[in-house]
Structure 1
C-alpha cells in the first residue's frame, strides 16, 4: 500500500489558502485517479480516499488535526496499515519555492514546515518521500513584507491561480511517477 498525505488545515476558512496547497494537490490527485470521495475516518483523524491505481492499493489522506499536529494522524494510518516510510508520500506547501514550481525529494529534513516537523517527531526519522508545492509569489505578497504565518494563511490571488494550477498538475504527475516506481525520474524532471 502507498499512503499519500496532503498537508493543510481543516475548515472552510482555510480553503484556498497557501498553507493548504498539499490538500489541493491530493484533491486533484483523487479526482484524476477516479478514487472515491474523501470521507472522515475518526480513528485516523483524517479525511481519506482509498482505492486501487493500476495494481497498487492507495490511501490518500488529509489530516484534520491542523497542520502542527499532522504527525499524529499520519502515524495512526501508517501503524494501522503497516505502511513502510518509503511508501508514505507527503505533499505540502513550501514558502521557499516560487509559485507554480515543485520539488521532489526521497527524504530530508522538515525545514521550517511545522506539518513536516510534526510528522518527523511522530516517526523519529525523515525517511519519507515528499513533494513540495511552491507558494511564494514575488511581487504579489512577498513573505519578507509580512510575517510568515499571515502569508501562508492568506488565500491565493486570482492572478496567481494559473501558476498554482500548474504546480498542482505537476504535483499530481510527480505522484503518478512515484507510484509507478519512478521517484528518481520525478526528481530529475521537476528538481
Structure 2
C-alpha cells in the first residue's frame, strides 16, 4: 500500500500556482487511474481518494492545511493506514529544478521547502520518496514570490508534459520499484 501526498495550498486562490503543482499532479494521478472521488476526511484535514494501481492499493491525500502545516495531515493518515515512511510518495514543487524537469529522491533534507519540513517533523523521518517538480523560472524573483505565481500559457504546456511523466513514474514506483521509476524518470 502507498500513500501519495500532493503538497499545495487549499482554495481557489492558489489553484494553478507553482506551489500547488504537487497537489494538481496527485489529483491527475487519481483521475488517470479511476480512483474514487475525493472526499474530505476531517481527522486528516485532507481531501482523500482511494484506488488500486495493479495489485497495489493507494490512497491519495491532498492536505487542506496550508503548505507549512502539511505534516499535520500526512502523519495521521500514514498512521491510520499503517504505512511506513518508505511507502509514502510525496509530490511537491522545487524552485531549484528548472521548469520541465523533475527528480525522484529518497531520504533527502527539505532544502528549505516548508511543506517538506513540516512532513519530516511530523513523520520524525526524512526517509520517504519525493517527486520533486521543477518550477524554477527567472532567477531574479525571490522564491517566496515565485511559488505563488501562476504558470503562463507556455509554461502550462511544459508542465503538462512533466505531469504526464510523473503520473507514469508514480505508477511504475507503486507496481514495480522506485529504483526503476527513478531510472525512467531521470531520462
CA deviations 1:28-80 (Å, max 9, x no partner) are 10111011121111111000001222111110000011100001100010111
Total equivalences in the alignment: 186
Q: TM-score, normalised by structure 1?
A: 0.94
1:6/1:92 contact within 8 Å kept: yes
- 2:146 is equivalent to residue 151 of structure 1: yes
Deviation at 1:8, TM superposition (A): 0.2
Partner of 1:78: 78
Distance in 1 of aligned mates of 2:101 and 2:64 = 26
- 1:172 maps to what in 2? 167
User: For residues 26-105 of structure 1, what are the structure 2 equivalents within 5 Å?
Assistant: 26-105=26-105
**Where has structure 1 moved over 2 Å in runs of 4 or more?**
none
1:119 alignment counterpart? 119
2:156 is the counterpart of 1:161:
yes
- Secondary structure of 2:134's match? strand
CA RMSD of aligned residues (A): 1.0
1:186 to 171, 181, 184: 181
User: Is residue 17–residue 155 contact of structure 1 (8 Å, CA) maintained in 2?
Assistant: yes
Deviation at 1:89, TM superposition (A): 0.4
Could you list the runs of 5+ residues in structure 2 that have no partner in the other structure?
none
Unaligned runs of 5+ in 1: none
Equivalent in the alignment of 2:107: 107
